[in-house]
């Protein structure tokens, strides 16, 4: 199955910095061996009743994740620590990003933030949120003033 990466709006500065990092990484792979801001890949799904967000969070401890949900967006932030396998080793290639990350994603429909449930397994974070009822009318009573 072939996937097409779709980006519905982005921050120019983030995209520019990512492009510059990729150019330097091609010239010298060890260039990326530093703590940097990285952007984990995310998928957003919508059904009739809920919105589901999946995030690629391999190598993180669940205690290092911070999730905030409001009616229109989700914020997922945290820190992935660098993996040190050997002391005094020389990197020949370093592609696994580490450091602080933060993603703010607009949701396709208003959600009930109180209904959000997050699970983390096999490096994938899943956040499920119930949609707010679209056609629910709110009755407004009228009071008589003198």
Residue 68: inside a domain? yes
The 10s digit of each residue's pLDDT in 68-125 is 999 999 999 999 887 777 788 777 777 788 889 999 999 999 999 999 999 999 999 9
Which domain, by its residues, includes 50? 12-130
Residue 16: inside a domain? yes
113: Cβ–Cβ under 8 A, 6 or more apart, which residues?
69, 70, 71, 129
What's the whole-model pTM score? 0.67
What does the pLDDT read at residue 54?
A: 97
Residue 103: inside a domain? yes
The 10s digit of each residue's pLDDT in 116-140 is 999 999 999 999 999 998 776 667 7
Residue 81: inside a domain? yes
Residue 2: inside a domain? no
Residue 145: inside a domain? no
* Domain count of the fold of the chain: 1
Residue 141: inside a domain? no
CATH of the domain at 71: 2.60.40.790
């Amino acid at each position: 199955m072939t996937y097409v990466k779709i980006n519905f709006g982005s921050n120019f500065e983030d995209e520019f910095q990512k492009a510059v990092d990729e150019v330097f990484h091609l010239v010298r792979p060890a260039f990326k061996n530093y703590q940097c801001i990285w952007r984990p890949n995310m998928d957003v799904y919508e059904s009739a009743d809920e919105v589901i967000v999946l995030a690629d969070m391999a190598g993180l401890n669940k205690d290092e994740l911070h999730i905030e949900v409001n009616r229109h967006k989700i914020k997922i932030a945290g820190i992935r620590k660098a993996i040190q396998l050997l002391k005094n080793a020389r990197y020949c290639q370093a592609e696994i990003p580490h450091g602080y990350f933060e993603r703010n994603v607009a949701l396709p429909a208003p959600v009930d933030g109180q209904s959000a449930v997050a699970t983390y397994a096999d490096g994938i974070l899943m956040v499920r949120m119930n949609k707010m009822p679209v056609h629910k009318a709110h009755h407004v009573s009228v009071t008589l003033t003198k």
